[in-house]
Structure 1
Amino acid sequence: MRKLAVYRLKPGMKIARPIYNANQQMLLASGTVLTATFIKKLEKLNIPAVYIDDDLLPGVEINDVVSDNTRYRAINYTKKIFHDFHYTRSLSGLDGMERVVNNILDDLLDNPTIMVNLVDIRSTDEYTFGHSVNTCILALITGLKMGYNESALKQLAMGAIMHDLGKTLVPVKILNKPGKLTAEEFDIIKKHSEYGYSVLKKARHFNAISALVALQHHERYNGSGYPHGLSGRQIHDFAAIVGLVDMYDALTADRVYRRAYPCHEAFEMLSAFGDYMFDYNIVKSFLHHVAAYPISSVVKLSTGEIGVVMENRPGFSLCPVVNIMFTAENEKLKYPVKLDLSTTPNVTIVSVIDDDEFNKLMDNKTGRQLFY
């Protein structure tokens, strides 16, 4: 099972995880064999990538940190709240949103060894709703690692899932502009944090600290953020957490103006931001549960050997368990060799084999003998 961009799909490939449309209706079930018609439909719907089953990792599942049912119910409800507010300027149904975040928290509490291995795939047209839910999930994972109690976690979650409400007041043509924003357009987009706060702070039954998340999630530890240029401890921890995971989710998602960054590149960027863009302890807590090299990543080791990531564990984000499949001379091994990088500090991952390199590997004689 591995993630593959839609433009690289070929008829005959098999879907590994169900694909949903913007209304969270299932388009293709797991196990569906792709046809040219199906692939064209995915392209038309602006779905950037899918997970496929192939012989690289037969029988290996990449599990989400929450159930599909929890995730898609949350996306649907978030979409309803945002749409209703956009058209009526009335914010209702927040009690239902509390139930949504409770379900997310329950799923996470049932998963004591959380590792973010799966990138949430969403239509570029429906980015905001999936992003809001994933930001909530990632913020809760960070809050759990930081030891927050249940009350604090729920305040954090509500702030996270509603953090971009203000974008409903930004013109869509600017929000979804595929090219570079002008200075004036960027100034308009930056207003979304104040717009959201002004609405949420007046909402019945919405916690004042949760509302502060909407206002401060673009503030940065070094004072370079907006809207008020706050720094250090002036920024509430909840807003700092949401700002960090908001950035990670944005980096690893396909956007109208660029393709997603690979997880290891996003991980490296955020690692460098400790006590610069974000508080170091928050960065450390978040990355504790994020796989730099998600399961099914094809990686090259410092020994020159090539293998596939099979397992990730909390606290060892850069040191997965790898099945070595090729020697340094690109010769296939008759049987894969399991290597736990957390116990072999002299061996590290030096690069990730991208789709182009992987296809070349598959096309040569040894690759075909190994994988098929």
Structure 2
Amino acid sequence: MRKIPVAALKPGMKVARPIYGSSGYVLIQQNVVLSRRYIEQLRQLGVPSLYIDDGLLDGYQIDDVVTDVTRMNAISRVRDLVTDLEQPNPASRIMLRTKEVARNVDQIVSELMSQPDLMVNLIDIRLEDDYLFGHSVNVCVLSLITGISAGLNNKQLVHLGVGAILHDVGKGVLPRNILYKPGPLTNTEFSVVKTHTSEGYSILRDMTHARDVAHEHHERYDGSGYPNGKKGDAISYNAQIASVCDVFDAVTSDRVYRAAYPIHEAVELIAGSGNQAFSLTLIQKFLENIAAYPTGSIIELSDGRIGIVIDTPRGFCQYPRVKLLYDQDTQPVTTPIEVHTLDDPSLIVKRVLPEQEIAKLRASRAR
């Protein structure tokens, strides 16, 4: 199973994971064989990418860290809460919605705690109109995984998760033409967007743990953030965790005005921000569970061989286990061979192959 851009889809490819639209309905089911019509519909709907099953990882299972049902339920709860903000006098409904959100967070905690060696190998695929809601849930999941690595107890994890899933709730009261602008913001527009931190604080003012995350997730460890330029541990611990996860999820998500960063580049971005944008200790906890080269990535090793990533051991995000596909002369490897880069100091990942090169290589060897 591999994630590829919709622009690279070809008729005959098989869908490996379903794509969900607004309100949780399925846009395209798993195991559907793509036709030109399907591909064109996906383009028109704004689907940025798709997981496809091309047989390269037969026999290997790749699961999300939370179930699709749990993720979609959480997205629906966030959507309901943000929708209520647009109604007159929403205070009573917001209290009810936050209780529903807390129950979803508790379920996410339970699922994550049952996986002691979990690694994030899948990036959820979301439509632009669902970006805020999917982003909120993903920041929650990533924050909880980091909190587990940091040794937080169950009660602390739920507090962290509720704050993380509601970190952007203040955006629900911002002008939609600014929030969903398909391009870079002007300085004036960015000033408006920055008010979502204080708006979030106001909406969540009776929820101490959540309001601090909403208010401080754009503060930075070196004092360069907003709204108050807080520095170091003057920033709440939960907000510090959420801020790392917020940036990571934002840069690895496709937007209408830019393509997503490859995961390994996002990992390098976060890793290089230690004790500047973020606490180095929290960065280390965050990266323990992130695969820089997610399962299904096709990579070239430093010795010239090409393979597909099977998995990555927890705590060693840049050292994947690889199933070899081609030798140094780009001849197909016919005998199954796995390489553990962690066990061979001479081997590192040289690069990730772009989809166009993968398609060309496979086509040339199929003749």
Question: If the TM-score is normalised by the length of the shorter chain, which range does it land in?
Answer: over 0.9
What is the rounded CA distance, in whole Å, between the counterparts of 1:95 and 1:118 in structure 2? 28
Alignment of 1:289 onto 2:289: yes
CA contact (8 A) 2:8 2:356 kept: no
1:327 is matched by which residue type in structure 2? D
Secondary structure of the structure 2 residue equivalent to 1:65:
coil
- After superposition, where does 1:13-162 map in structure 2 within 5 Å? 13-90=13-90, 91=94, 92-162=96-166
How far did 1:28 drift? 1.9
Does structure 2 conserve the Cα–Cα contact (< 8 Å) formed by 1:325 and 1:335?
A: no
- More deviation, 211-220/318-327: 318-327
User: In the alignment, which of 186, 189, 193 is matched to residue 190 of structure 2?
Assistant: 186
Structure 2 alignment gaps of length 5 or more: none
Question: Could you tell me how far 1:87 is from its partner in structure 2?
Answer: 2.7
Identify the residue that residue 247 of structure 2 maps to in structure 1.
247
Segment of structure 1 superposing worse, 63-72 or 2-11: 2-11
Give the secondary structure class of the aligned counterpart of 1:88: coil
Deviation at 1:89, TM superposition (A): 4.7
* Structure 1 Cα separation of the partners of residues 39 and 59 of structure 2: 24
- Residue 334 of structure 1 aligns to a residue whose secondary structure is coil
Structure 1 segments unaligned to the other structure (5+ residues): none
Q: Which amino acid aligns with 2:268?
A: E
Quote the Cα distance in structure 2 between the aligned partners of 1:89 and 1:318: 49
Give the AA of the match of 1:148: L
Asked whether the 8 Å contact 2:301–2:351 carries over to 1, the reply is yes
User: Could you tell me whether the CA contact under 8 Å between 1:176 and 1:256 is conserved in 2?
Assistant: no
Q: What do residues 66-116 of structure 1 show as CA deviations (whole Å, max 9, x unaligned)?
A: 011111111111111111122335123221111110110011011111100
Letter matched to residue 161 of structure 1: I
User: Is 2:177 aligned against 1:173?
Assistant: yes
Task: Provide, for residues 197-240 of structure 1, a one-character-per-residue CA deviation record: whole Å limited to 9, x for no partner.
Answer: 011014xxx2x122100000000011111001111111111001
Contact 1:46 1:125 in 2 (8 A): no
Q: Distance in 2 between matches of 1:93 and 1:311?
A: 37
Residues 80 and 97 in structure 2, CA contact (< 8 A), matched pair in contact too: no
Deviations 1:289-344 (A, max 9, x none): 00000011111111111111111121111111111221222122221321111111
Partner in structure 2 of residue 2 of structure 1: 2
Instruction: Report what 1:300 is aligned to.
Output: 300
AA in 1 matched with 2:163: G
* Identity across matched positions, percent: 41
Q: Does the residue aligned with 1:330 lie in a helix, a strand or coil?
A: coil
Correspondence for 1:196: 200
Q: Report if the CA contact (8 A) 1:221-1:230 is conserved.
A: yes
> Aligned pairs, how many?
363
Q: For the residues of structure 2 that align with 1:117 and 1:305, how far apart are their CA atoms?
A: 22
Q: Which residue of 2 aligns with 1:260?
A: 260
TM-score of the superposition, structure 2-length normalised? 0.96
Q: Structure 1 length normalisation: TM-score?
A: 0.95
Moved more, 289-298 or 88-97: 88-97
Aligned letter for 1:37? R
Give distance in 2, aligned partners of 1:37 and 1:328.
Answer: 38
AA aligned to 1:246 is D
RMSD (Å), alpha carbons: 1.2
DSSP-derived class of the 2:123 partner: coil
Q: Which moved more, 1:14-23 or 1:236-245?
A: 14-23
**Moved runs in structure 1, 4+ residues, more than 4 A?**
none
Could you tell me how far apart the structure 2 residues matched to 1:343 and 1:311 are? 14
Shift of residue 5, structure 1, vs aligned partner: 1.1
Q: What is the distance in 2 between the residues matched to 1:248 and 1:150?
A: 24
